[in-house]
Each structure stands twice: as C-alpha cells, then as structure tokens.
Amino acid sequence: MPAFSLEPSHTARCAELRALAEERLRPLAEKGEPGQVNRPLVAELGRLGLLERLFTAGALDLCLMRESLAYACTEAETALALQGLGAHPVHAHGTPAQRERWLPAVGEGTAVAAFALSEPGAGSDAAALSLSARPDGPSRWRLTGEKCWISNAPEADFCTVFARTTPGAGARGVTAFLVPADRPGLTGTALDMLSPHPIGALAFDAVPVSADDVLGEVDRGFRVAMGTLNLFRPSVGAFALGMAQAALDATLAHTSRRDAFGGKLRDLQSVAHTVAEMALRTDAARLMVYAAATAYDEGAPDVPKRAAMAKLLATETAQYVVDTAVQLHGARALQRGHLLEHLYREVRAPRIYEGASEVQRGIIAKELYAHLEVP
C-alpha cells in the first residue's frame, strides 16, 4: 500500500477516533489539572481499547491514531503516546514476568508508564548519560543520579530507566531497567513547564535493581532506546500534524466568515496565499510521516533516516502552521481557552523532545554519509 493512499477502513477509523476524542475524551481532559497525570482520562483510553492497540498496532496505525486524537483532544493523544513510549520497551524487550506484571495494567489504563532517558547534563545525547548503575553483588546494581524532563514523572507507576553500567563506554555501556515507582531511594518532583502535560524530574539515591529488572541485555540498552524512538518519532510527527490540521481548519473557517476591508478576510490575496502555504506544508509533512511509518512496518533499512526526517519536517511545519493561524486570527487567538492559544503552547515541545530538531538533522546527515559510496 503506498504511504499516501489510505484504505477506506483507515479513513473510517480516523473519523471514528476523532468522534471518540470529541465526545468521550475531551470532557475528561477538560476536568484535568495541567501538569498532572489525568488518570480518569488514561482509564477511559483503556476502556476504549486504545491502549491495548499500542502493543498490536504498526507504525502507520500508531500515526493515524495519534493524528486523529490530536486533532480533537491533544491531552488524550499525549496520554496515549506517553503510555506507549514508557511501556514499549517492556513489550519489545521485557521478560515474560515483566510483561505479565505491567502490560495488562497499562492496556487497562490502571498503570501509568514513563520513559526516563533525558538528564540535566545530557539532554538529547543519549550516549552521554551519566546515571550510574554501580554493581551491588552478582547481577545487582544501585542506581544513582538524576533524570530530568521526564513525561508522566513523578506520578508514573513504573519507569523505563536508562543507566550507565560500564563507565567510559559511550552508547555500548548503557542498560535499560524497569523500575517500579515504589523502589526505595526513588523520588521525584513535578516541573512547571510551558506544555500542559505532566513533566518531572527523578532522583535516584542508590535505588536497588537486579537482573530481573533488566530490559533486553546488560550494556545493550542504547538499542532499546533507539528502537523505541525509531517507532515513536514518526508518530510525534503525526501528533504535530493533528495540531496543524486543527489550526488550518480553524483558519479556513475564520477567514471565510471574518469581515475585512469590504469583503471577507479570505478575499485578500495575501491571506489566501498564506492559507494555501499552510495547507501545502501540512500535506507535504503528512506524506513524509506516512512514508516513514510504512518504511518501519516493512522493515526498510533506512528507518532511522526516515523517522528523523518525518519528525523534523512535521514538527517544524506544525510550528509554522499554528503560529500563522494565530497571526491570521489576531488577538482573539491569544485569549486563554481559545483553541489556538492551547495549540500554541502544545506545539512548541515536540520540536525538542525525543530528539530536538538539530539532533534530527544530525541523524539524517550521519545516515546519508554512512551510505555514501565514494569512488
């Protein structure tokens, strides 16, 4: 199936998800507190069967889910995505015991997951992380250090944590651990951020972990992290596309009914051309997101490059589209509670998390040169 040609069943499913988000998820989202995990919303995602689909959906299906939910309810989209990001390493690399303990609860919406990779001194440079896993007997370690800007922290019930088991080994010395929130020595604080979803910092004071907590293999955690990000990066682009499309549709409606200079706002050529540019960029980014997702599902060799391109183009495009929509709406778009005021706060973060735009450009360049045949 070409990436740009969706089956009728996909189109119908997207419409269904938009309706569910509008009717059942947005009312719960509106009752939530900014910066805190909205557990009733997470539970409703579970009741609707959307969280279980995180473990069966391919990358294309994941993108369609995220774009559709983001169009109508960004909070619901983010809650779903964070569950997937935190739990995917357990699904893909966990032991039978780990999977049995946590995945049903994640799917039901009764357990909240987090993906703890970023650190104050490392940021997007995953190979430079310094949270240490010091040996504490045979196949046992103590985690000491900090994680920062972790979505769902400090309220998550468990975290996928990446720690350094071999000092000085770069990416080859990182191990992924499944760490329940009730482990002694693990504490956290919420951070007051621009984006409204929960983000916090975690402190590890000799937190005990063992071989039973390892996800994948010791010293091979970087592969766990990158495998998860290669799946989710295109869908971050899909999240951005949902916001861009919502902003574009709001702009079409506004410019069609707003009186200006003896006609409608859309009659001004500068406005019409600007709206055309918004639509052009949104559709171009959508093609790249779907192409990256299809490449992932087909096991293509260039997934890292495509995933980076999709996230980069879609998030930068969404920033442009939402900002332009605010400009065309004028002061009304800056009022608290306006759709575009909400989207303006939401759209900024995806250009940073899961690898900032500059990191994506670095990945793209690295992949291009790695496959260059120099005569």
**Which residues are tagged catalytic?**
354
Give the number of C-alpha atoms closer than 13 A to the C-alpha of residue 57, restricted to the C-beta side.
24
Give one word for 139, left, alpha or beta, with left for phi > 0 and alpha for psi -120 to 50.
left
Beta strands 140-151 and 199-210, pairing class: antiparallel
Secondary structure string (H, E, C) spanning 355-375: CCHHHHHHHHHHHHHHCCCCC
Per-residue DSSP letters for 110-155? SS-EEEE---TTTTT-GGG---EEEE-STTEEEEEEEEEEEETTTT
Is the distance from CB of 103 to CB of 80 less than 8 angstroms? no
Beta strands 113-116 and 158-164, pairing class: parallel
Beta strands 140-151 and 158-164, pairing class: unpaired
DSSP letter (8 states) at residue 333: G
Q: Tell me how far apart the alpha carbons of residues 345 and 194 are, in angstroms, rounded to a whole number.
A: 6
